């Protein structure tokens, strides 16, 4: 069986892969995550996922039996990617913009081996209820929004903001498990690699 590597520092992605009982080794494969001129959000997440997977593969001495998973998630409002907030003011502005509205979360998952690259991009629609300025300030003070795309974590304290979700919850967290499992199967990597009980 191929050895799976995860080219991501995200604890959420590690937890999600562990949830479906797929063994993996984590790699750090830094890439330039800047948006290209006129790059659409869908193309952006797909490119970053692919670059992470290919950068991870390039780090390995023995690639013959390796499969590297790269992923990227973007929060999109009115066609614009909302990145990680630089500071409190940016987080407050982002959360105020998301308040009472629907936004899109795009997550790309890419599997790369020496012979092939497979890509899926999953789009989910998330609606926030109306947020008060006091709630936004209190949420910022928790520290959770600081390193999150779109200034929030659906799996964390911000779960109380979400009034509706259409699509994949795990994709909004950072890795679409249904689509990831389908891609892993194409590389003959099964899910549920649990210990066998006699």
The candidate with the shortest Cα–Cα distance to 134, out of 77, 96, 84, 162, is 96
Q: How far is CA 116 from CA 12, 28, 112, in A?
A: 26, 21, 6
Q: Which residues are catalytic?
A: 72
CA 114 to the chain's CA centroid: 23
Question: What per-residue string of b and e applies to 24-56 under the rule 16 or more CB within 10 Å gives b?
Answer: beebebebeeebeeeeebeebbbbbbbbbbbbb
């390995």: which residue's tokens?
60
List the one residue out of 72, 134, 142, 146 whose CA is nearest residue 99.
134
Q: Three-class SS of residue 27?
A: strand
């Amino acid at each position: 069986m191929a050895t799976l590597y995860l080219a991501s520092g995200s604890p959420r992605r590690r937890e999600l892969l562990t949830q479906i009982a797929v063994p993996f080794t984590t790699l750090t494969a830094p890439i330039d995550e800047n948006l290209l001129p006129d790059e659409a959000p869908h193309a952006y997440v797909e490119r970053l996922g692919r670059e992470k997977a290919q950068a991870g593969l390039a780090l390995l001495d023995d690639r013959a039996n390796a499969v590297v998973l790269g992923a990227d998630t973007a929060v999109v409002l009115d066609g614009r990617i909302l990145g990680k907030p630089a500071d409190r003011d940016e987080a407050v502005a982002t959360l105020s913009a998301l308040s009472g509205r629907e936004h899109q979360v795009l997550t790309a998952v890419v599997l790369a081996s020496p012979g092939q690259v497979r890509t899926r991009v999953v789009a989910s629609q998330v609606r926030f209820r109306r947020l008060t300025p006091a709630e936004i300030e209190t949420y910022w003070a928790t520290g959770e929004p600081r390193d999150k795309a779109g200034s929030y974590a659906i799996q964390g304290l911000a779960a109380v903001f979400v009034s509706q979700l259409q699509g994949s919850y795990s994709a909004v967290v950072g890795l679409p498990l249904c689509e990831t499992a389908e891609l892993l199967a194409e590389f003959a990597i099964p899910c549920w690699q649990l210990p066998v009980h006699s």
